[in-house]
Amino acid sequence: MADLLLTHARVFDGHRYLGGVGDVLVRDGRVVSVGGAERTPGAEVVDCGGALLLPGFVDAHVHPVQGGLERLTCDLSEVAAEPAAYLGHVAAYAASRPDLDWVQGGGWAMAAFPGGLPTAAALDTVLPDRPAALVNRDHHGMWLNSRALRVAGITRDTPDPADGRIERDAAGEPTGVLHEGAMGLVLAVLPVADADALHAGLLEGQRHLHSLGVTGWQDAIVGAYAGMQDTGPAYLRAARSGELTGSVVGALWWERERGLEQVAELVERREACSHGRFAATSVKIMQDGVAENGTAALVEPYLDRCGHPTANAGMSFVDPASLRSIVSALDEVGFQVHVHGLGDRAVREALDALEGTEPLHRHHVAHLQLVHPDDVPRFAEHRVAANIQALWACYDEQMVDLTIPFLGPSRAARQYPFGDLHRAGARLVAGSDWPVSTPNPLEAIHVAVHRTAYGDPGRAGTEPFLPDQALPLEVALAAYTSGSAWVCHRDDAGLVQPGAVADLVLLDRDPFDAPDEVGAARVERVWIGGEAVVGG
């Protein structure tokens, strides 16, 4: 491999902004020098033109196989978030694929519908004769048409599962939305994505991530969940064939309806699935749901639309006492534990369970929409990483209509406390949760820095969402590079310094020149191990 010489670069090294360092030299897949590089004969020279060179982004919580599959099926994620647009897209997709027995896909936004709830009746207007199942953006709910409800045998007499809910009308009839574990009621009749489809989804997801500068990631669910088949074999196939170009940690799925007998099975899967660029060394535990459908686990109950307390405080999917035993058992056999904790009770339960575990395993809690003030310092105290999805920390229709009214002013004013966590010494790592939201790190970093969405300020205009919780640009970039590389146990990645793996991204500008325009920056080139994967 010829040397790669990057000239006229401004550099963010994974921790600090170095400014205009001059040349960066890459040899044999690693950074050799930063600034003052000797120009070697035969080197490939790329003039960076004063734009920012930084480490490849590492997404610490993402679902690229699901995201890739959605891009290849009925993808609603980039359709205007309004019922008519969704229905028109479904109709066009169904017409283009008359061979499909089921219409599947997803990406719809709850905020597009009154109360966050689409109906089977609406979907019937464009698709009355074939069953349809469309997951929403956060993958905590599924929209079915009437044909799908009938095929799945879901009626007014079908009980809600312990970990989910069937949305019903006043007469008790299912209206077309299944929440959380209730999605399992349709799994027996949904077509199964075969090995080739999962492989294609992985490659499409990887291609899209690379185009946005993401060179590595942690897949937050490797296992069967919510109609998705186990993605472990797809990763193993791509790793063995050399098609997996990103470095990936797989978080093996903890089946919450089972117990400690899984631990030995997960150890076996870790050995069987890990190969090359794929390491199945983490375990994902989903401790609660999401606030928008009332399943995030809260210390105090949700409010109703009139501001009165309800009887609902959300769902802890794993009993807290059992969670401690589970985490301890996983920690003892060397797994990293990756917890979905969105509500303040779930975050507390996760921290309680992680207290006293081995810090070298680099456990982390993701999402952190609500963290009780008493628990903010516990991340640093227990050396648990705070895995943030920064894109969500802004005013939008979902926040204004489906979250704030049901939390009340006091709790709503302490959402996504990134600034407090940083000031308390928590180690920040970052991810997107794609396909829940865009995997573009620069859009997420813009929100982390400004607490507004670039180019789409939402219902509150340009008003920032809790600006005291904003992060400095260096800190936000570090979370998405060296921070997330660290949580994936890649100590020689996420950096631009001698000896580091040459996973590098060149932007079309230097965001430090105009921090208000971070979200406008675009990726020009991407290298993995010094080899171009984008723009080469």
| Cα dihedral: 508, 514, 518, 519 (round 10) | -90
Beta strand 336-341 with 278-286: parallel, antiparallel or unpaired? parallel
Render 328-386 in DSSP notation, one character per residue.
Answer: HHHHHTT-EEEEEE-SHHHHHHHHHHHTTS-GGG--EEEE-SB--GGGTTHHHHHT-EE
Residues with Cβ within 8 Å of residue 8, at least 6 apart in sequence: 20, 22, 47, 48, 49, 50
Whether pTM exceeds 0.85: yes
> Residue 62's beta-bridge partner residues?
219
| Spans in the chain with pLDDT lower than 70 | 37, 227, 456-462
Peptide bond into 435 cis (omega under 30): yes
**With contact defined as beta carbons under 8 Å apart, do 295 and 180 qualify?**
yes
- The DSSP call for residue 191 is P
Q: Which of 278, 403, 432, 424 is nearest to 343 (CA)?
A: 403
Beta strand 44-47 with 30-34: parallel, antiparallel or unpaired? unpaired
Domain boundary assignment for the chain: 4-56+496-534, 74-186
| Cα dihedral: 304, 309, 310, 314 (round 10) | 100
pLDDT at 81: 87
pLDDT at 37: 67
Q: Which of 222, 207, 232, 278 is nearest to 255 (CA)?
A: 222
pLDDT at 349: 98
pLDDT at 20: 95
pLDDT at 460: 46
pLDDT at 188: 84
Is 4-56+496-534 a CATH 3.40.50.970 domain?
no
pLDDT at 70: 87
Name the architecture of domain 74-186: Roll (3.10)
> If residue 442 lies in a helix (H) or strand (E), which one and from where to where?
helix 441-450
pLDDT at 162: 87
Count of Cβ atoms closer than 10 Å to residue 138 Cβ: 20
Residue 13 and residue 24: Cα distance in Å, rounded?
A: 11
